[in-house]
Amino acid sequence: MKVGEKIKRLRLERNYSITELSRKAKVSKSYLSYIERGIQENPSLQVLSRLAHNLDTSVEDLMGKQTKRADTVPVDEEWIGLVDEAIKNGISKEDFSYYLDFMKFRSRSEREK
């Protein structure tokens, strides 16, 4: 399933109008329509991240990639400390999520080369 089709399906499942999702994700209604109709096939990572966030999914899911569930990955104390430090230094959930999406995108791009 293409990214636009997936976005449209998730939007409809959540009973969002195209206007409502475009407002929530801060994406123009016409641009969102282009994405959903497959006219715009390569939206930016930033746009995908905002759409994924508002559709309660991940960028990887929108792009057809499966991710491991977080509860199957062990987390050590060092990771917890790093996350705590990021929070103390003012990183928002949105910024952290955007950074993770960027790293996944970068990693995938490197593998495809």
pLDDT of the residue at 16? 96
Q: Kindly list the domain boundaries of the chain, sorted by start residue.
A: 3-112
Percentage of the residues of the chain whose pLDDT score is greater than 90: 44
Fold observed for domain 3-112: 434 Repressor (Amino-terminal Domain) (1.10.260)
Q: Hey, what amino acid is at 90?
A: G
Global pTM reads 0.60
DSSP H helices, the chain, are 3-13, 18-25, 29-36, 45-54, 59-62, 77-88, 93-112
What is the average pLDDT across 92-112? 82
Nearest to 25 by CA among 47, 1, 45, 40: 47
Structure confidence by residue, pLDDT tens digits, 25-76: 999 999 999 999 999 988 988 899 999 999 999 888 888 765 444 445 666 7
Nearest to 83 by CA among 71, 95, 72: 95
| Average pLDDT in the chain | 85
